[in-house]
C-alpha cells in the first residue's frame, strides 16, 4: 500500500511548512490528486491519520481535489479530457499527445492556526 | 492563516531518483525497472535474459522483495552480481532503497542493471528509482482486463512483455482486446508476445535491450 509513503510525504511537507510559519495547529490540508494516479483517497486518509498522531497535524482535515486527465495534441493543438484511457487525439486521431494534468500529487495549501 | 505550498508529495523521492540516475549515467549504465504482478514471470524473464545476454553485456541485478531472498538466490545461480533489497512488507521500491545498495555494485564494470521491483501492478508505477525506463511483464493468465484496471503502469512502461502465451489455448484471454487497450493507453509502448518458460518470442526483447544499452553508452538516453 503506497498510500503510506504518500501520506508520509504529505505529513513531512505539512510539518515543514507549518513550522516555518510558527503554526500551532494544522486545520486543513488541501491536496491535488490527478485522476491518473493510483491513490486510494480513503487509504491515504487512514494512513495520514495514523502517521499524524501526536503532531500538530493530528486533527487536520485532508481536502482532496481530483484533477481530470487532460492532454494536449502536439499535432493539431487541441486540448481535451481523456476518457477510458484512450490516449489518441479525439479530433485528428494522433497518438502524439502530452499529459498536461491528471498526474498531480501535490500539497496545494494549508490552513493553520 | 493560509499557507500556499504547491509542493509535489513525491519530490523528495524524485530528487534522489534523479541523483541516482546521474550516477548510473556517468558510468554509461542502462538501468531497467522491471515491473509486474506476483507470478507474472518477472524472475523467469530475468533468468532467460541473463542466460542470453550475459556473454555480450556486463550486467547486474537488483532484486526487490517483501521479505525473502528467494528470487535473488534463483538469479545468483546464473553467475551475475545480485544485490537484494528487502522492503520489509513495503509494496514498492523507492529511490532511497536503491541509493542504499549502490556501493554494493561495481558500477565501473557494468553496462546494464535490471531492478526487479516488488510484484505489484499498482504501487511501483508511482515511484521512480533512478531507472532509465520501466518495463513490465503481464501474463495472459492475469486476464485482459488488467490494462484498463491499472492503466498507470502501462502508461509509464516503455515496453511490455505479454508472457505465458504457451497457455493461450487453456485460457479465455482475448489477445486482440488486450493489445488494443494497451496501445490506446500507451501508443508508443513496445509489445513483446512471449513465453518466458520456453523462451519463445523473446528475441524482440533482447534486441530492444541491446539497442538501449548501445544508446545509453552513446549518451542518447539522458537523465529524466
Ligand atoms: Zn490532434
d(CA A10, CA A1): 15
d(CA A71, CA A82): 7
Looking at CA atoms only, how far is residue A23 from chain B in angstroms?
Answer: 9
Mutate one of B9, B126, B145 to test the A interface: name it (highest A CB count within 10 A): B9
pTM: 0.94
Burial A34-51 (b: 16+ CB within 10 A, else e): bbbbbbeeeebeebbeeb
Q: Compare CB distances from B126 to A2, A87, A108 and report the shortest one's residue.
A: A2
Length, in residues, of chain A: 113
**Chain A residues lying within 8 Å of B11, measured CB to CB:** 9
Helices (H) then strands (E): counts for chain A: 2, 6
| pLDDT the model gives residue B224 | 41
Grid coordinates representing B195 are: 513465453
**Chain B residues lying within 8 Å of A39, measured CB to CB:** 126
Interchain contact B88–A (C-beta under 8 A): no
**Chain A residues lying within 8 Å of B15, measured CB to CB:** none
Interchain contact B148–A (C-beta under 8 A): yes
Mean pLDDT of B91-114: 96
Q: Compare CB distances from A85 to B5, B6, B151 and report the shortest one's residue.
A: B151
- Spell out the residues 6+ positions from residue A99 whose beta carbon is closer than 8 angstroms to its own: A36, A69, A70, A71
What's the pLDDT tens digit per position in A1-27? 689 999 999 999 999 999 999 999 999
Test B3 with A109 for CB contact under 8 angstroms. yes
Grid coordinates representing B31 are: 538501468
First-to-last C-alpha distance (Å) of chain A: 32
Query: How many Cα atoms are found within 13 Å in the side-chain-facing hemisphere of B152?
Result: 19
Q: Which of A46-55, A72-81, B21-30, B83-92 has the lowest mean pLDDT?
A: B83-92
- ipTM of this complex: 0.90
> How deeply is B188 buried, as exposed, middle or buried, from its count of CB atoms within 10 A (0-12, 13-18, 19+)?
exposed
Grid coordinates representing B78 are: 546464473
What's the pLDDT tens digit per position in B103-132? 999 999 999 999 999 999 999 999 999 999
User: Which residues crowd ion ligand 1, with CB under 5 Å?
Assistant: A 73, 75-76, 89, 91-92, 94
Q: Is the pLDDT of residue B184 over 60?
A: yes
Interchain contact B5–A (C-beta under 8 A): yes
CA B50 to centroid of ligand 1, rounded, Å: 42
Q: Is the pLDDT of residue B206 over 50?
A: yes
Test B5 with A111 for CB contact under 8 angstroms. no
What's the pLDDT tens digit per position in A40-97? 999 999 999 999 999 999 999 999 999 999 999 999 999 999 989 999 998 999 999 9
| pLDDT the model gives residue B223 | 45
| pLDDT the model gives residue B221 | 63
Amino acid at each position: 500500500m503506497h498510500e503510506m509513503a504518500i501520506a508520509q510525504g504529505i505529513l513531512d511537507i505539512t510539518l515543514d511548512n507549518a513550522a516555518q510559519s510558527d503554526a500551532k495547529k494544522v486545520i486543513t490540508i488541501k491536496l491535488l490528486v490527478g485522476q491518473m494516479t493510483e491513490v486510494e483517497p480513503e487509504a491515504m486518509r487512514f494512513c495520514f491519520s495514523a502517521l499524524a498522531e501526536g503532531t500538530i497535524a493530528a486533527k487536520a482535515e485532508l481536502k482532496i481535489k481530483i484533477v481530470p486527465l487532460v492532454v494536449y495534441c502536439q499535432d493539431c493543438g487541441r486540448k481535451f479530457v481523456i476518457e477510458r484511457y484512450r490516449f489518441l487525439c479525439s479530433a485528428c486521431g494522433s497518438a502524439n499527445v502530452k499529459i498536461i494534468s491528471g498526474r498531480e500529487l501535490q500539497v496545494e495549501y494549508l490552513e493553520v492556526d | 492563516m493560509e499557507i500556499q505550498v504547491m509542493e509535489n508529495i513525491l519530490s523528495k523521492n524524485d530528487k534522489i531518483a534523479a541523483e541516482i540516475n546521474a550516477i548510473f549515467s556517468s558510468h554509461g549504465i542502462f538501468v531497467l525497472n522491471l515491473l509486474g504482478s506476483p507470478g507474472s514471470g518477472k524472475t523467469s524473464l530475468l533468468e532467460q535474459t541473463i542466460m542470453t545476454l550475459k556473454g555480450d553485456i556486463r550486467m547486474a541485478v537488483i532484486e526487490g522483495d517483501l521479505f525473502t531472498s528467494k528470487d535473488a538466490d534463483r538469479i545468483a545461480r546464473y553467475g551475475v552480481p545480485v544485490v537484494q533489497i528487502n522492503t520489509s512488507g513495503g509494496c514498492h521500491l523507492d529511490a532511497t532503497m536503491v541509493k542504499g545498495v549502490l556501493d554494493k555494485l561495481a558500477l565501473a564494470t557494468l553496462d546494464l542493471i535490471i531492478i526487479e521491483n516488488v510484484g505489484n501492478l499498482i504501487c511501483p508505477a508511482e515511484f521512480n528509482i533512478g531507472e532509465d525506463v520501466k518495463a513490465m511483464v503481464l501474463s495472459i493468465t492475469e486476464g485482459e482486463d488488467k490494462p484498463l484496471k491499472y492503466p498507470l503502469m502501462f502508461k509509464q512502461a516503455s515496453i511490455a512483455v505479454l508472457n505465458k502465451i504457451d497457455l493461450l489455448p487453456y485460457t479465455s484471454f482475448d489477445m486482440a482486446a488486450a493489445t488494443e487497450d494497451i496501445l490506446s493507453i500507451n501508443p508508443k509502448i513496445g509489445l513483446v508476445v512471449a513465453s518466458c518458460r520456453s523462451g519463445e518470442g523473446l528475441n524482440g526483447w533482447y534486441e530492444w535491450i541491446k539497442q538501449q544499452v548501445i544508446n545509453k553508452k552513446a549518451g542518447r538516453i539522458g537523465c529524466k
